[in-house]
Each structure stands twice: as C-alpha cells, then as structure tokens.
Structure 1
Amino acid sequence: MRHWPLTQLTITTPDLVLRVPDDQLLDKLAHLAGQGVHPPEMTVFAQPWTTGTPEEVARNVLRNHWWARADWRGDNWRLHLTAVNRDGHVVGQQNLSARDFATTREARTGFWVGRRHHNRGYGTQMRAAALHLAFALGAERVISTAFAHNGPSRAISAKFGSVPNGIRRIAVDGQLIHVHEFVITRDQSAAQVQPGISVQGLDACRTMFDLPSSRCVRAPVT
C-alpha cells in the first residue's frame, strides 16, 4: 500500500511469517481469538478483551487493530503483527509499541497465541521476531510484562535473558493482579542470538517510526 508502507514489513522465523494483516488475514486472526486464547478461568490481560462470546472477542480484535492504525504517530505507535505458520494457518498476534522512540530508544512487546496452537514454540519465535525488529530499529532496550500467574509468558522472557524490572499492582475486574516487568538491552540480546530470523521491507517504512535513514539500524539477513 503506497501510503501505508508498513504493509511491506515482513519478519520471518524458522516456522513463522509475521506481517501487518490485510482485511482477509485480520478476519482470520479475529476468528482465531474468538475460538480461545487462554483457559477461560485465567486472567492474562489488563484489558479483558478475551471476555465475551466468540463474536464479541473477534470484534474486539478488529477494533484494536483499527484503533492502532488510526492512532499511529511517529512518536507514539503500536505495531500489530499477525503470525502465520508454514501451513498457512494464523497462530497469533505479536505487538511492538513505543512512545517517543527516537528519544527513549525503548519499546514494549506483547503477544498472544491461539489456544489450539499452544505448546508448539510459536510464542518463543514471535518474541524473537519482535526483539529482532526492535533492535533493528535502533532500540536500546525492550520491555515485556506478564501476570504473576502466567508462567509460560514469564518463561519466555527468561529464555531470552530478560531481567526482572519491578512488579506493579493493578486491578482487573476487581481482582488484584501482580504484573511482573522484564527488560532486555541490546547487549543482552546480542548474547542470545536467535538463528533464522530476517526482516524485509524495513527501509520502506522507517519514516513511520520517526527514524531517518541515518539513525535506522538495518536488520541482519540470516
């Protein structure tokens, strides 16, 4: 898309392709979310967008993507990527966001995997893709969070060498939740290199991140 160059951005991992979804792909992603993202008795998101009927959950995904696009600014952006496996099945969503990135050089990650695709290593590869892109953009550190009871998400952060960065207390539907924050720096990430990851189309959309070419770090091609 000429005036929305983010559509040219693609990240590949050994088993996945991540990209900004078109309407057809977004509809498949929303349908996947409606089929379930986590056990119904669990709370894993600060905004309870997974609560409701399958149709309501699916529409929550659509609204979130449309909002992120409409609200995009170079100093305040939220990149929502859809992950597709080798068989062409949508498996989940990987987010990367930042405020005043050109100054702070700090980004945040978040993700979800459709419940029927759990325990296949997709979450790990999605996080690897997000870190690869963040540091290719010139990030100096990346933040991730997980609820205290969300062991799998916390394990992914530990797997990449992220270190604890404090605990926050929030309320979700009247329930007290402890949110663990983790941080990984560029140097720490370099020591945890993940093979088989590449980024395409980054040059075409670098201005969307308020980064002129002289400040944009190219992603290595592997």
Structure 2
Amino acid sequence: MGPASLAHLWPLFGLELRTPRLFLRVIRDEDLSPMVEAAASGIHPPERNPFTFPWTSVPGDQLPTNTAVHVWRTRAETGPDQWTIPLGVWLDGAFVGVQDLRAARFTAVRSVTTGSWLRRSAQGRGVGREMRAAGLVYAFDYLGATEATSEAASWNAASLGVSHSLGYTENGSRRELWGDAVEDVTYVRITPQALRRPPWTLHVAGHDAVARFLGLGAP
C-alpha cells in the first residue's frame, strides 16, 4: 500500500501544493533518502550554522537516522492541539528542501511558525521566497491563520531578506543559545493583510481532509 493510498489513515499524505516552479507535499517515507541527500549536499557554509538546533553538524553517518526519526516524531506529535506540516519541496523533479508550518493551540491562537531549508545548489534563484510564499498563502487562505512568525540569527541576511521581501516586520530580538554559539536572534511577524502576495495562484489538493484532521472543519 503506497503513501497516497494511506491518506485515509494519515490525511497529511494527501496534501499537495503547486506554484509555477515548485511542487510541495508532506514528506513521506519514500522521500527520506532524497531528503538526506539534499541536506548532505550542503545547505550553508560549515563555519556558520543557521539552525537553532545544529542538525546539519552531526557526523554524516548519523544524518539519515536522525532525519528519519525527526520526521516520524513530528507525525506522532501531530494532532488538533499541536501540529507540524513538513512540506518537501521539489524543483524540476528534484528534492531541494523543506518548508515547515508549525502551530500549537491553533484553533484558539491562529498563529503559525515557519521554518525552512534549501540545498545550496538551489539557492540564489528565488526558490526560498517562492516556497515560503506558498506556505504563507496556504496558512492564511486555507488554514485560517491570522499571523505567521519566524526567526533567524541576525547575521542570516538571506533568511531575513526573504522575510522582508514578503512583508514581515521585525518583532524584537534577543541573545540566545543558537546551536553551539550565543547569537543575536531576530524575530519577524506577518499578517494576511501585510503579505506581499505573489503574482501566481497557489494550487492546493487534499486540504479538506487535513482541515478535518486538525479540527478546523472543511470549507
């Protein structure tokens, strides 16, 4: 039984988003190997890790298992009260990164947090902005979020540049343990009204079952 046919057991497997260049879907077990290969190919310079938890710095032989465990854990912890939607991102048929949407007590708070990574060979081509825009449009127009937040180390001009280009505003900063170092971290926030919407239509499949599973009803 393939992942698509398992959508009646795990509705997130049926969710698919499409932009003019990108195909995004919730990560399945069959995607774990290409996901590991994309991460292992390089995401950032070795001397600066942009992730709160420095998962890319583990020895290479640990990356496959750690990746699989992370994906399985997010599935096990996803339900109406707390959830993660981990969207794998494909460009020209190749797995190039992940765009996450995360929330806690969403039915009351209506706030999501985004996180993402993109293999270096796909960077510098506007892919990061397009995948973040896809996640935001889905969160606002389909899930009914009223705000989205994100964060980045203050030196991470690429991530903050994507945020500013989409209409986020800075929402404070503080020093935190960021991976293995103490960094100044910048927080950003955006609402549906502030979003600089892309000049394309997001095509969505499989949303109704996801909405019911997350306790949001269906449109």
Matches within 5 A, 1:32-111: 32-86=38-92, 88-111=93-116
Identity %: 34
TM-superposed CA distance for 1:176, in Å, is: 1.2
Query: CA offsets, 1:118-142, max 9 Å, x none?
Result: 1121111110111011112100010
Query: CA offsets, 1:138-168, max 9 Å, x none?
Result: 0001001111111000000001010001112
Whole-angstrom CA distance in 2 between matches of 1:173 and 1:164: 22
Whole-angstrom CA distance in 2 between matches of 1:98 and 1:173: 22
Whole-angstrom CA distance in 2 between matches of 1:143 and 1:208: 23
Whole-angstrom CA distance in 2 between matches of 1:27 and 1:44: 22
Whole-angstrom CA distance in 2 between matches of 1:62 and 1:163: 34
How many residues of Structure 1 are paired with residues of Structure 2 in the alignment? 212
What is residue 15 of structure 2 aligned with on the other side?
9
What is residue 118 of structure 1 aligned with on the other side?
123
Amino acid at match of 2:189: V
Contact between 1:34 and 1:58, CA under 8 Å: does it hold in 2? Answer: no
Determine helix, strand or coil for the equivalent of 2:97: strand
Q: Of 177, 200, 212, which aligns to 1:195? A: 200
Query: CA offsets, 1:186-208, max 9 Å, x none?
Result: 1112x534413221110121122
Determine helix, strand or coil for the equivalent of 2:174: strand
Whole-angstrom CA distance in 1 between matches of 2:152 and 2:33: 27
TM-superposed CA distance for 1:174, in Å, is: 4.6
- TM-score by length of structure 1 reads 0.90
Name stretches of at least 5 consecutive residues in structure 1 with no aligned partner.
217-222
Contact between 1:34 and 1:53, CA under 8 Å: does it hold in 2? Answer: no
- TM-score by length of structure 2 reads 0.92
What is residue 3 of structure 2 aligned with on the other side?
none
Contact between 2:89 and 2:97, CA under 8 Å: does it hold in 1? Answer: yes
Amino acid at match of 1:133: Y
Whole-angstrom CA distance in 2 between matches of 1:173 and 1:108: 19
Q: Of 203, 209, 213, which aligns to 1:208? A: 213
Contact between 2:52 and 2:179, CA under 8 Å: does it hold in 1? Answer: no
Q: Of 148, 166, 169, which aligns to 1:142? A: 148
Whole-angstrom CA distance in 1 between matches of 2:177 and 2:215: 34
Query: CA offsets, 1:14-38, max 9 Å, x none?
Result: 1110001222222211121122211
What is residue 220 of structure 1 aligned with on the other side?
none
Contact between 1:147 and 1:179, CA under 8 Å: does it hold in 2? Answer: yes
Q: C-alpha root-mean-square deviation of aligned residues, in Å?
A: 1.4
Contact between 1:34 and 1:56, CA under 8 Å: does it hold in 2? Answer: no
Whole-angstrom CA distance in 2 between matches of 1:75 and 1:127: 23
